[in-house]
């Protein structure tokens, strides 16, 4: 069985949705199709939710009206017959009645999460009806039946697998099973989600849960590129990556994959293939446990990083010091990305500063604290890169025009990470593109 995930742009226009159906008809065997919301929908739902939390009901209603018009136009082009247009109309009306009901009531975080789930719920219903209109046999399997996260917001892979396998087996004569990306239930059994971009993660969790042959992520680009195509002009697709390499790139900002996508697939050794919906023939990227040639593979950048420096001449060399520092972060459920030490100081970075002021207060017990916000981690990934000569020379030659705040290497043979101020990011990514790949 293969899992195919189609992202927002792949379902975002009626003709693209139709193309997905064509594509499913050309692939034989049983498949699970994971769909995102139509592109722009989740952003609109976030904006509605934000307005409502601030008590700005009129502004929320404006966004709701615009979004509803978008869906009215969408179903007009998606369905060919009067009968199916009426079904589409019923779906859109039902969803917008529910959204307006949420907006009219006491709006809280629970309501917000229910609101965010509507994008994937409506896209899957519309796609299912499109298949019905074309008499393509399929079933809609609600993700809320099987997808769950625990109290730490971690997906419960074993439970997901236990629920999903019998459901899929019961649909033994159905080749196309459609489900929603992104949405899940939390430990309170409420509707929740896997964070922005989470449909990739759904696909990987589903693929791991049913031990699929392959997980395919269909998007608007021909695979993982060697650098961020939104920032760097000349980038090229990479044909092969290992799970470790892809995992680093996703975690450190390659938006094509949700940061955690690779983890479940790697656990059960399920290959992940990245494909382009707009150019089906393009080879894309295959991610497996096998290595492939090439010292430097790709560069990714992650913004919104805060660096914290703890200076403590008395304590740093004492055993147990780092444990106590880490405990502070653990207590505030804040993960550390990079870490470097010297004899008198330790520097580390976090990407979530929700609890920063409490963390700072606690760390002050250990010494002097300095905090730098608006930093960017640039992560350079390659195949056993750190076992080869001259790698760091090339990296730092490329970065000679920029002050580097931190460097981390040696933790994995596949990665060198540097921390710079965000203002240098664009130029640094371009300089590395030229220095490491000869692309400018």
197 binds Mg ion (CB under 5 A): yes
Binding-site member from 79, 182, 321, 437 for ligand ASP (CB under 6 A) = 182
Residue 37 interacting partner from ligand ADP, Mg ion, ligand ASP, none (CB closer than 5 to 8 Å by kind): ligand ASP
Residue 228 interacting partner from ligand ADP, ligand ASP, Mg ion, none (CB closer than 5 to 8 Å by kind): ligand ADP
Question: For residue 19, what are the CA distances in angstroms to 16, 109, 419?
Answer: 5, 36, 42
340 vs 197: CA distance, rounded Å: 30
Question: H or E stretch including 350?
Answer: strand 345-350
187 vs 439: CA distance, rounded Å: 48
Give the β-pairing of 183-185 and 176-180. unpaired
Angle at which helix 391-398 crosses helix 425-437, to 10 degrees, equals 140
The neighbour count for residue 394, using CB atoms within 10 Å, is: 16
Beta-bridge mates of residue 420: 376
The residue at minimum Cβ distance from Mg ion is: 197
Taking CB under 6 A as the criterion, which residues in 27-56 touch ligand ASP? 36-37, 42
198 binds ligand ASP (CB under 6 A): yes
Question: H or E stretch including 90?
Answer: helix 82-104
Beta-bridge mates of residue 178: 33, 140
Question: Of the two residues 247 and 415, which places its CB atom closer to ligand ASP in the complex?
Answer: 247
CB of 204 to ligand ADP, least distance (A): 13
CB of 199 to Mg ion, least distance (A): 6
CB of 7 to Mg ion, least distance (A): 5
328 binds ligand ADP (CB under 6 A): no
Q: Angle CA(253)–CA(209)–CA(127) in degrees, nearest 5?
A: 75
Does residue 410 contact residue 320 with C-beta atoms inside 8 Å?
Answer: no
264 binds ligand ASP (CB under 6 A): no
CB of 219 to ligand ADP, least distance (A): 3
Binding-site member from 40, 229, 294, 304 for ligand ADP (CB under 6 A) = 229
Does residue 55 contact residue 22 with C-beta atoms inside 8 Å?
Answer: no
The three-class DSSP label of residue 306 is strand
CB of 89 to ligand ASP, least distance (A): 23
Token reading at 410? 């040696």
CA 429 to chain centre: 21
Taking CB under 5 A as the criterion, which residues in 132-151 touch Mg ion? none
Question: Of the two residues 1 and 278, which places its CB atom closer to ligand ADP in the complex?
Answer: 278
Q: What is the largest CA-CA distance in the chain?
A: 78
Residue 147 interacting partner from ligand ASP, ligand ADP, Mg ion, none (CB closer than 5 to 8 Å by kind): none
User: Which stretches does DSSP call E strand in 186-295?
Assistant: 191-193, 214-219, 240-242, 272-276, 285-288
CB of 102 to ligand ASP, least distance (A): 17
For ligand ASP (CB under 6 A), the number of binding residues is 13
The residue at minimum Cβ distance from ligand ADP is: 7
Binding string to ligand ASP for residues 106 to 135, with x set by CB under 6 A, is what?
A: -------------x----------------
CB of 355 to ligand ASP, least distance (A): 24
User: Which stretches does DSSP call E strand in 167-295?
Assistant: 176-180, 183-185, 191-193, 214-219, 240-242, 272-276, 285-288
175 binds ligand ADP (CB under 6 A): no
Question: Of the two residues 182 and 321, which places its CB atom closer to ligand ASP in the complex?
Answer: 182
User: Which stretches of the chain bind ligand ASP, using CB under 6 A?
Assistant: 7-8, 36-37, 42, 119, 181-182, 196-200
Positions touching ligand ADP (CB under 6 A) are 7-10, 36, 197, 219-221, 224-225, 228-230, 254-256, 298, 300
């Amino acid at each position: 069985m293969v899992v195919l995930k189609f992202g927002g742009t792949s379902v975002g226009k009626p003709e693209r949705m139709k193309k997905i159906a064509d594509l499913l008809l050309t692939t034989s065997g049983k498949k699970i199709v994971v769909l995102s919301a139509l592109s722009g929908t989740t952003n609109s739902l976030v904006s509605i939710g934000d307005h409502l939390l601030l008590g700005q009901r009129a502004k929320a209603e404006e966004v709701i009206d615009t979004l509803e018009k978008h869906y009215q136009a969408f179903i007009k082009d998606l369905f060919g017959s009067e009968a199916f247009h009426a079904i589409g109309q019923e779906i859109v009306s039902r969803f917008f009645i529910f959204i307006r009901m949420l907006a009219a009531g006491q709006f809280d975080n629970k309501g917000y999460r229910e609101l965010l789930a509507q994008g994937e719920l409506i896209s899957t219903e519309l796609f299912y009806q499109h298949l019905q209109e074309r008499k393509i046999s399929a079933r809609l399997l609600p993700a809320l039946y099987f997808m769950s996260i625990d109290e730490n917001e971690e997906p419960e892979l074993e439970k997901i697998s236990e629920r999903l396998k019998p459901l899929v087996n019961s649909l033994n004569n159905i080749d196309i099973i459609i489900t929603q990306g992104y949405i899940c239930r939390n430990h309170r059994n409420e509707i929740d989600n896997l964070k922005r971009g989470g449909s990739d993660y759904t696909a990987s969790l589903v693929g791991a849960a049913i031990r699929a042959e392959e997980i395919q992520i269909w998007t608007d680009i021909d695979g993982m590129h060697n650098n961020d195509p939104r920032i760097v002009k000349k980038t090229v697709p990479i044909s092969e990556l290992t799970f470790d390499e892809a995992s680093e790139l996703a975690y450190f900002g390659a938006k094509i994959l949700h940061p955690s996508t690779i983890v479940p697939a790697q656990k059960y050794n399920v290959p992940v293939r990245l494909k382009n919906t707009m150019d089906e023939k393009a080879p894309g990227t295959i991610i497996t446990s096998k290595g492939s040639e090439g010292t430097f593979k790709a560069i990714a950048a992650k913004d919104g990083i805060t660096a914290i420096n703890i200076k403590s001449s008395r304590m740093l060399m004492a055993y147990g010091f780092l444990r106590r520092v880490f405990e502070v972060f653990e207590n505030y459920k804040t993960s550390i990305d990079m870490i470097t030490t010297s004899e008198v100081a330790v520097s580390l970075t976090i990407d979530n500063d929700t609890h920063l002021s409490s963390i700072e207060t606690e760390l002050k017990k250990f010494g002097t604290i300095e905090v730098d916000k608006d930093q960017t981690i640039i992560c350079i990934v390659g195949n056993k890169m750190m076992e080869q000569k001259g790698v760091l020379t090339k990296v730092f030659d490329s970065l000679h025009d920029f002050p580097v705040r931190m460097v981390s290497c040696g933790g994995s043979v596949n990665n060198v990470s540097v921390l710079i101020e965000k203002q240098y990011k664009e130029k640094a990514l371009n300089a590395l593109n030229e220095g490491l790949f000869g692309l400018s």
